Structure 1
Amino acid sequence: MKQYINILLLITVITLLFGCDKFLEEEPRDLASPSNFFNTPTEFDLAIVGLYNIYKGNSLHGKIGLDRYYENGADIIGPNRIFGQVEPTQAYTLSESNIGAIDQGAGAPLTWQNLYAIILNANTILEQLDINQTLTQDERSLFEGQTLFLRSYAYYHLTNLWGNVPYYRDNLPISEIQVLPRTDKTLIRDEILVDLRRAQDLMPNSLSETDQGKATKWAAATVMVKILLTQKKWEQARDKALDIINSSPHDLLDDYAAVFDPNNEYNDENIWEIDFVRDVRSNDWVDHFTPRIRDEPKDPTQQNALSAALGERSEGFTGYGLSIPLPGYVNDFPLDDLRRSQNIVTEYLGFELNFPYMPKMWNLDQVNSPRGNHGDNKIIFRLADVYLMVAEAENELNGPASAYQYINKVRERAYEPDQPLAGLTQETFRQAIYDERRWELGGEGHRRMDLIRWGILLDVVKTTEYRIYNPAANIQPHHILLPIPPEEFSLNPALLESDPTNNGYR
């Protein structure tokens, strides 16, 4: 969306129409009159851009955000030190009393609030689409598809993180929202699958250059596959994944590193990426993967020399070092796997490093991408993930015979010469999927949900070596979900009435 957002107009309109800080206290109709705003295609488009902008916030995709829950506390990345206070989601010491203290501005309470802000605003847009008499059918379909997808994507995260949550599809007054109980996550997922099917029908197959950063029908289809795998609906998951592989314009790149090159955004493999722009709407999630110079190199007497060598390339170790490969990931990653160099680096410019890093996610460029002001897009879904999901679904349905073709397609660029898998049982193929997703998708926001849906999170955490904290001693079965932030109970007591345990945290 780098080219088509009028930033000043967008901020003004969205602030007036969709102020979200107090969205539970104010009636949205009081912020601006929808009848006065929702008239032209431009106005509907601005409102939908406002939904995308919420996803760019620090609590979702702009900072560590959602990855705090989808990557941390698994078996791939972790911090190199305690940063400020103990991080309860990684240490598995999370409780009602400390959930609100997580990284102020990017923690769980704001994640909850912003996801519901998206839902509230999406319902307003859909209501206005129903009554608008000026749009063409094509315009109406385009806006409906985008809005259904963005609302479904919000419910997808809410059910992943909190399980049963308040669920509503109409533009309800705040007085009704504040008394909604929690709805069973199975019902929510079933209904958002229906919405996603319609969204896929209505959304575009591909995007023009001016619309880059929005989602296509294939992003909707990918969310469907992930939900269907969680529900163990193997045949439907396989068929939907094959639809993406066979019908979408996406293809695997020959070069794994090229997928993550910030100069190669919107490449053929990436199904959806959140668009960021330096100096306009930038991100700092990159900094979590980038080294900080005070930690490096391993020989501290060479720090000045390393800094000089970096400076000659206009580079710098100016990051946080808080998302780096765990020891087991470094030790287990096959040495002959060509993806290793993008997922693990232990030396740079001839200097042995004190910690390993994940270079596919870092950005050392100090001219075009300085600390805290990165324009690197956030890749949400890419085709390699879909290939591995169809391999998993096919194996669960029929065993590995017809599943090899999909996992081996991903492995083709990982080995030279090629090392296709063969001769596995259904169980050993299942383990191969566990490993292949670990090598292919490390640090990209999938791992912890994978471990949860496979039912092995606790076992994996208890056998993983961590540098910081002691998650293995702390993790409990209820940690697969988050507690609802307690301040939400004062706004809506029905949340606690429908589950007095708050997901097992009391």
Structure 2
Amino acid sequence: MNRKYIKLAAAALLIQFSSCKPNLDLSNPQELSTDTYYKTADQLENSVIPAYQALIGRTQGGYARSLYFELLAPGDDYNHTFKWEPMYQDTYNTPASDGMAAQTWRDFWNGVFAANLAIDRIQKFEGEIDQNRKNRLLGEAYFLRALNYLHLSMLFGETIPLINKPVETNEDYYPGNAQAGAVYALIVDDFKRASELLPTRAALYADSKMIGRATKGAAQAYLAKTYLYKPILAKGQAADFANAEIQLKSVIDSKEYQLMSSYRDNFLESKENNQESVFEIQLYNGPGWLGDDISSSWRWQEIGMLDGTGGAWWNLAPNKMAHDEFEEGDPRKYMTLWCENGAKFTQLDGKVTTYTDWMKNLATNKDFFGTRKYCPDVQIADFDNGNNDRIFRYSDVLLLYAECLNERGDIAGAKQYINLVRKRANNIVPDEQPHLWYQKSNGTIPDVDGLIAQGLVKNGVPLNTIKNIIVHERFVEFLGEYQRYFDLLRWGMADPTWLEPLKKAGWSAKAMYYPFPQAELDNNKNLKGNDMNN
């Protein structure tokens, strides 16, 4: 997204927050409010910005900081290190007083409120505006409401409040719990509307200022993911593979997206919003830090390089199981992890360090690794950077589609789409560090049939069925990309075997979601917490 849209977010949020004050029948003609704003087409253009900004996280509860802990830590592939004690997110004992969960709750509800206000004002707008522009803005607002709600429901469950209009009365400030299935239905309906209203990627991105905004393909892809996440979003319900397949096929048939030749291109700041990107969080590293710049990411500093190297904090790390999931000859291992025989890291003082150096400096947790994805190879002075977080890639579309095909018995079709992803993994990466073997030679992982013939077992799972291979392929393709925990949950609702890795780490059905923040329950007596609050 053009960076000016990020910078406008702070001002737009202030307008949104002004609607959350009690009505004292007082007005300042010099101050913008929800009654005096939204009077021109350009002001409508700005109305959706706060809902984008909420995903980044104005209170650091979004992808700029807290969210990567909350999405990664509950999986079986990441653990908190000795650097952060106590951290609750990977213990399945997060208390309702936890500040991180409260920040995320607050940021995503800000996104819902902003989207609701935008939907209302766009629908009621009577001024002069091109109809295509109006449709696009309304589509963005529906998309963003659905995406903010999707995150809230994934993290806190389906009994969160259902709020689908701007806050207007005192009663609106204190909503009760949603009925079972209601939030899921809203998310599905909003993504459907967005897919009908939004332009295609090619049409929208023809204007460089629009790059990064929601598109028709993004809405369709997220609608498909919502269908597949139904066991999480509407607990006890089965995934809707048939409807997901339709949406995924539409994205594929649009030919708007393609796999980048280099897997690594998906995680470099210089290759943002590329052809593989279905939707990404637009981050910006401006002046200042620790609150002065609310649109940058701390990810590289907090979960990137190992402890003792370049001042990295290394609070959350891939574990040995994650490392061992990669097949021999898979270049993705070295583009994903800081590990043995992998990439080197250059510190600010010019010292080039290797895995051997990192192990010498590491006092404990020697069976953990670093996350190279999104992490620079050369240390930067800032704690933060502006590398966008790609939260939906085309490879995800292909593997989800393969999963749908496999569910209805189209084994040949499923193999075809898995093989597309595996074939790309073997590509030479010419701009990699010169000592890495795949900079000049192809990877050696086989196609699906060859993999089955090898009879490999990874972390106790034999790679002898298409389902098991899909599980494996999603693990290695998306390690560090927030998929693993939610994949295990949705599969585990149908086959409890997939929950076993989580149970070994202490997970229980009660701990499926984070608790509602206690401060919210104290403030709103109409709202009841989820199982983790009991």
Among 264, 283, 304, the residue aligned to 1:276: 283
Indicate if the aligned counterparts of 2:161 and 2:176 stay in contact, CA closer than 8 A. Answer: yes
Q: Give the direction of change, closer, same or farther, for the CA distance of 1:91–1:4 in structure 2 (3 Å limit).
A: same
Per-residue displacement from partner, 1:381-420 (whole Å, max 9, x unpaired)?
A: 1000111101111111225232111111111122445611
Q: In the alignment, which residue of structure 2 is the partner of 1:288?
A: 302
Per-residue displacement from partner, 1:187-221 (whole Å, max 9, x unpaired)?
A: 22123212211101211212232122322122211
Q: In the alignment, which residue of structure 2 is the partner of 1:446?
A: 483
Q: In the alignment, which residue of structure 2 is the partner of 1:173?
A: 168
Indicate if the aligned counterparts of 2:61 and 2:106 stay in contact, CA closer than 8 A. Answer: no
What is the CA-CA distance between 1:37 and the residue it aligns to? 0.9
Q: Give the direction of change, closer, same or farther, for the CA distance of 1:6–1:179 in structure 2 (3 Å limit).
A: closer
Q: Give the direction of change, closer, same or farther, for the CA distance of 1:350–1:144 in structure 2 (3 Å limit).
A: closer
Whichever residue aligns with residue 262 of structure 2, its letter is D
Among 358, 383, 387, the residue aligned to 2:371: 358
Query: What is the SS of the residue equivalent to 1:53?
Result: helix
Q: Percent identity?
A: 23
Among 187, 191, 199, the residue aligned to 2:194: 199
Q: In the alignment, which residue of structure 2 is the partner of 1:266?
A: 273
Q: In the alignment, which residue of structure 1 is the partner of 2:350?
A: none
Q: Does 1:144 align with 2:138?
A: yes
Q: Does 1:389 align with 2:400?
A: yes
What is the CA-CA distance between 1:275 and the residue it aligns to? 1.4
Q: Give the direction of change, closer, same or farther, for the CA distance of 1:504–1:239 in structure 2 (3 Å limit).
A: same
Indicate if the aligned counterparts of 1:292 and 1:318 stay in contact, CA closer than 8 A. Answer: no
Q: Give the direction of change, closer, same or farther, for the CA distance of 1:27–1:378 in structure 2 (3 Å limit).
A: farther
Q: Give the direction of change, closer, same or farther, for the CA distance of 1:277–1:351 in structure 2 (3 Å limit).
A: same
Mean Cα deviation higher: 184-193 or 337-346: 184-193
Q: Give the direction of change, closer, same or farther, for the CA distance of 1:68–1:46 in structure 2 (3 Å limit).
A: same
Q: In the alignment, which residue of structure 1 is the partner of 2:216?
A: 217
Q: In the alignment, which residue of structure 2 is the partner of 1:61?
A: 63
Whichever residue aligns with residue 90 of structure 2, its letter is Q
Q: Give the direction of change, closer, same or farther, for the CA distance of 1:149–1:185 in structure 2 (3 Å limit).
A: farther
Structure 1 unaligned segments of length 5 or more: list them.
297-316, 464-471
Q: Normalization by structure 1: what TM-score?
A: 0.84
What is the CA-CA distance between 1:14 and the residue it aligns to? 3.0
Indicate if the aligned counterparts of 1:59 and 1:110 stay in contact, CA closer than 8 A. Answer: yes
CA distance in 2, matches of 1:180, 1:248: 43
Q: In the alignment, which residue of structure 1 is the partner of 2:259?
A: 252
CA distance in 2, matches of 1:69, 1:148: 25
What is the CA-CA distance between 1:149 and the residue it aligns to? 0.5
What is the CA-CA distance between 1:10 and the residue it aligns to? 4.9
Q: Does 1:115 align with 2:108?
A: yes
CA distance in 2, matches of 1:115, 1:5: 18
Among 518, 528, 533, the residue aligned to 1:486: 518
Q: Give the direction of change, closer, same or farther, for the CA distance of 1:248–1:485 in structure 2 (3 Å limit).
A: farther
Q: How many pairs align? A: 457
Indicate if the aligned counterparts of 2:123 and 2:138 stay in contact, CA closer than 8 A. Answer: no
CA distance in 1, matches of 2:413, 2:517: 45
Q: Cα RMSD (Å) of the superposition?
A: 2.6
Structure 2 unaligned segments of length 5 or more: list them.
231-238, 288-294, 345-352, 360-367, 427-442, 453-461
Q: Normalization by structure 2: what TM-score?
A: 0.79
CA distance in 2, matches of 1:427, 1:41: 57
Per-residue displacement from partner, 1:35-64 (whole Å, max 9, x unpaired)?
A: 42102222112221222122212201111x
Query: What is the SS of the residue equivalent to 2:278?
Result: strand
Q: In the alignment, which residue of structure 2 is the partner of 1:503?
A: 531
Per-residue displacement from partner, 1:169-198 (whole Å, max 9, x unpaired)?
A: 122425222342211352221232122111
Query: What is the SS of the residue equivalent to 1:398?
Result: coil
Mean Cα deviation higher: 23-32 or 216-225: 23-32
Q: Give the direction of change, closer, same or farther, for the CA distance of 1:262–1:426 in structure 2 (3 Å limit).
A: closer
Indicate if the aligned counterparts of 2:257 and 2:275 stay in contact, CA closer than 8 A. Answer: yes
What is the CA-CA distance between 1:356 and the residue it aligns to? 2.4
Q: Give the direction of change, closer, same or farther, for the CA distance of 1:90–1:40 in structure 2 (3 Å limit).
A: same
Q: In the alignment, which residue of structure 2 is the partner of 1:469?
A: none
Query: What is the SS of the residue equivalent to 2:411?
Result: coil
Whichever residue aligns with residue 190 of structure 2, its letter is D
Q: Give the direction of change, closer, same or farther, for the CA distance of 1:211–1:318 in structure 2 (3 Å limit).
A: farther
CA distance in 2, matches of 1:209, 1:328: 42
Whichever residue aligns with residue 170 of structure 1, its letter is K
What is the CA-CA distance between 1:92 and the residue it aligns to? 1.8
